[in-house]
Amino acid sequence: MAERLIGRANLRMSRVRGWQPGRRVVSMMWGAVLGLGLGFSNSVADGSDGAWFSFAPGPGPLVAGSAIDLRALNERIAGEHGFIQSRNGHFVRSADGRTVRFWAVNGPPDSARTPDELSRLAHRLAQSGVNLVRAHGAVFDKQGETNPERVRRLQAIVTAMKGEGIYTHLSIYFPLWLDPQPDTPWLSGYNGHQHAFASLMFDRGFQEHYRGWWKAVLLTPGPDGKRLIDDPALFGLEVQNEDSLFFWTFNAKSLPPSQWALVESRFADWLMKRHGSLDQALTAWGGTRLSEDHPESRRMGIRPLWNIAHEKTARDRDTAAFLFEIQESFYRETIAWLRGLGFKGVITASNWNTADNQVLGPLERWSYASGDFIDRHGYFGGVHTGEASEWSIRVGQQYSDRSALRFEGSKPGGARSYGHPAADVNYNGLPTMLSETTWNRPNRYRGEAPLFFAAYGALQDSDAIVHFALDGAEWSVKPGYFMQPWTLLAPTQFGQFPAAARVYREGLIQPGDVLADVSLSREDLLQLKGTPLPLDAAFDELRLKDVPSGEGATAAGLQVDPLIHFAGRTRSQLGTTASRTLVQPLGPWIDRARKRVQSTTGELRLDYESGLLEVRAPQTQGALGNLAARPSVELPDVVVSSPLDLIQIVIVSLDGQPIARSSRMLLQVMTEERPTGWRTTNAGPGLHRIESIGTDPWQVREFRGSVAFRRPDAGALRVIPLDFKGAPQPVMGDARRIELQSSTLYYEIRP
């Protein structure tokens, strides 16, 4: 099982340096850039069923100015209009106040080493609509000392991305990257085999050392003599990644005894201030004591998080208040220190879940409120079991396919699950970011992801979606030394960015009405009354290992219908003087009997029984999912049909005009992907066993279907197929009826 403990490798961003027996050694290994040829060539696959084609890369960037080139959406140089700031609930450019949405990736791959390689990669990202990268990796070595090479690497990334109008967000600390060695002077008690969960939030010596990492990153002059702290192309800073005093990893087994003793001592001091003495605290709790209580040594035990969230005794409420104050003060003090250092961009606290998102979740988010925006993580996947399944794809593993358009549960045949990482809540009027997300592979429904995020992210007025993970700069099924579940440079993912990024960034789908407005008072939050609007914890396989068996992330109880997030917007104000929940009637938008939900704008209609999403906005229209369920889908300006049960067909206006009168449009098509030679066998109801993981190139299921424009001038609109790089091919006819070509992803439609 040692390999299983390697953790999410290869660009998380990445978390594997190597393996040693009996431990997880996690650091930055950011994939392999085998070259920056990101073009395409159409060719027929060798698949035995004849229904797949090869998605084979060729060298070079996209054709400049083509219908799939989005470079013009970015600024000429990132930061030319000032630092990004948080105003009125959104990200804005400080110089002109213009609101900016970010369609982003976790990257770039570490092996894009030279300035030229980084610049070429940046250009290709910009062409696909990316305007932010989250550089996620340690800046320290295995001893926890600052690594100057990593600092120089971040400087090079910011410089290269800046030149293509792409901002950079820095995430430099994650407990899985640090296994403190014995006798570490600034963090005692560790043995080199434990991750430093939670310690940063209460160990003052560790905090001081941690600040040294930020000083090195922000204040070290680069080759041009300039510091990152002064560069407005640096979007923001993340205090820490995926850690919390309210998550399962905060317990006496995960922390060394000396660190846990430090927590218990601080709890005792806190109780003495709150109650006057430890005896009075025990009296207030009804006299009950734990075996871990040692009042004579000024140490008081911490009950497990499950008990705190479920039993909510007087002691539990005190404990939760103590943990909240420790965590909140750490974030507040760290953010103030970064401001004092001179940083002018945006700062976020963290992005994690809790042991109970209904009860403890609002405390977690409330602790982030001193930051400039609220971040979160969420992944979508089904069953994936077998050796090292949490971070790799291997022969012998078993998996299930899972569709978000049908709200399928994580296990085949199970109850529907309406929680999804696309669901968003606006907290305290701050911008929101989803800084890690993807549909994990293998999953035949992976192609739902880009347009699903674009559509529902726009509906909820989310501010940034960061796709995981750019582990290589070629369209390879195995960019690194193993096949991983998050590869972004795949046809169903990056291949759909041209339409998805434009829809999201330009707001072609309008924000929905506010359907739920929840205020939670400070007193009620600390009394563990929770929230009626919890978000589901959508874990990836790696962090799911930290959840005790059988424990869900959201407790049962009063909840607002989770389908609300697919109808409109929600918001929650934390720490108010009084609690209040206002929910608009949801009947007009949610029809559970017919299994349908539509947006308050009328622009999105989801039939989750069939798994079919209709997009009906003036500037973007299409049908996604199971088109075989209907003879045709009639949209305001087009009629779409296909015999396939999994296909995405979307039309996007490119000139800012409604499709009804646009003079330049993009038609984009996608089905499903698999590696060449991928083979599986049946492993039971809904399960597949991997017999071969396959090789390059990607295979894409052939397209079948038609698109008919309903405009009176449809006969005068030319339909121009584009190759995978955006180069025009011979005109194939007019827009009265477009028969999809079997291997053409993109079409330009114009007079």
Task: Kindly report which listed range (209-218, 469-478, 616-625) carries the lowest average pLDDT score.
Answer: 469-478
Query: What pLDDT was estimated at residue 25?
Result: 29
Q: Is residue 589 part of a domain?
A: no
Residue 17 pLDDT class (50, 70, 90 cuts): very low
> pLDDT digit string (tens) for 56-85?
867 689 999 999 999 999 999 999 999 999
Structure tokens at 247: 């998550």
DSSP tag of 741: P
Q: Is residue 698 part of a domain?
A: yes
Query: What pLDDT was estimated at residue 81?
Result: 98
Clarify whether residues 508 and 647 are in a common domain. Answer: no
Residue 545 pLDDT class (50, 70, 90 cuts): low
Name the 3-class secondary structure at 50. coil
Residue 540: pLDDT over 80: no
Residue 112 pLDDT class (50, 70, 90 cuts): confident
Clarify whether residues 222 and 288 are in a common domain. Answer: no
- Separation of alpha carbons 127 and 62, rounded Å: 7
Clarify whether residues 266 and 238 are in a common domain. Answer: no
Clarify whether residues 290 and 164 are in a common domain. Answer: no
Clarify whether residues 245 and 277 are in a common domain. Answer: no
Clarify whether residues 396 and 271 are in a common domain. Answer: no
Q: Which range is most confident: 21-25, 44-48, 628-632?
A: 628-632
Mean pLDDT, rounded, for 688-699 = 97
Sign of CA dihedral 123, 126, 132, 133: negative
CA distance readout (Å), 711 to 132, 331, 353, 648? 37, 55, 48, 22
Clarify whether residues 283 and 333 are in a common domain. Answer: no
What's the mean pLDDT when you consider all of the chain?
A: 91
- Separation of alpha carbons 540 and 526, rounded Å: 29
Backbone phi and psi for residue 676, each to the nearest 5 degrees, phi listed first = -65, 130
Residue 43: pLDDT over 60: no
Residue 550: pLDDT over 50: no
Domain total of the chain: 3
Q: Is residue 697 part of a domain?
A: yes
Backbone phi and psi for residue 52, each to the nearest 5 degrees, phi listed first = -130, 155
Q: Of the residues 516, 549, 574, which one is the last residue of a structural domain?
A: 516
Q: Is residue 625 part of a domain?
A: yes
H or E element in which residue 213 lies: helix 204-219
> pLDDT digit string (tens) for 500-521?
999 999 999 999 999 999 999 9
Closest to 224 in 3D by CA, of 316, 149, 159? 159
Contacts (Cβ under 8 Å, ≥6 apart) of 145: none
Task: Kindly report which listed range (32-46, 330-344, 592-606) carries the lowest average pLDDT score.
Answer: 32-46
Clarify whether residues 657 and 707 are in a common domain. Answer: yes
Q: Of the residues 491, 516, 541, which one is the last residue of a structural domain?
A: 516
CA angle (568, 572, 573) in 5-degree steps: 150
The residue with greater pLDDT, 508 or 10, is: 508
Contacts (Cβ under 8 Å, ≥6 apart) of 594: 609
Q: Is residue 73 part of a domain?
A: no
Query: What pLDDT was estimated at residue 19?
Result: 24
How would DSSP label each residue in 396-424? T-EE----TTTT--SSTT-------TT--
Residue 48: pLDDT over 60: no
Strands (DSSP E) contained in 564-637 are: 569-576, 580-583, 590-591, 596-598, 604-607, 612-616, 620-625, 633-634
DSSP tag of 513: P
Q: Is residue 690 part of a domain?
A: yes
Closest to 586 in 3D by CA, of 675, 680, 666, 513? 513
Query: What pLDDT was estimated at residue 536?
Result: 76
Clarify whether residues 347 and 460 are in a common domain. Answer: yes
Clarify whether residues 299 and 325 are in a common domain. Answer: no
Residue 217: pLDDT over 50: yes
117 neighbors 161 (Cβ within 8 angstroms): no
The residue with greater pLDDT, 326 or 287, is: 326
Number of helices and strands in the chain (H, E): 12, 37
Mean pLDDT, rounded, for 532-561 = 59
* Strand partners for 171: 136, 238
Structure tokens at 188: 């005692």
Q: Is residue 592 part of a domain?
A: no
The CATH number covering residue 401 comes to: 3.20.20.80
Contacts (Cβ under 8 Å, ≥6 apart) of 2: 19, 21, 22, 23
Strands (DSSP E) contained in 129-286 are: 132-136, 167-171, 234-238
Task: Kindly report which listed range (4-18, 93-107, 266-280) carries the lowest average pLDDT score.
Answer: 4-18
Q: Is residue 591 part of a domain?
A: no
Mean pLDDT, rounded, for 26-53 = 42
Between 115-127 and 148-162, two packed helices, what is the crossing angle to 10 degrees?
A: 40
Read off the pTM: 0.92
Residue 548 pLDDT class (50, 70, 90 cuts): low
Q: Of the residues 488, 516, 544, which one is the last residue of a structural domain?
A: 516
Clarify whether residues 293 and 353 are in a common domain. Answer: no
Residue 603 pLDDT class (50, 70, 90 cuts): very high
> pLDDT digit string (tens) for 174-183?
999 999 999 9
Backbone phi and psi for residue 122, each to the nearest 5 degrees, phi listed first = -60, -40
Clarify whether residues 101 and 150 are in a common domain. Answer: yes
- Determine the structural domain holding residue 693 and report its residue range: 610-750
Residue 538 pLDDT class (50, 70, 90 cuts): low
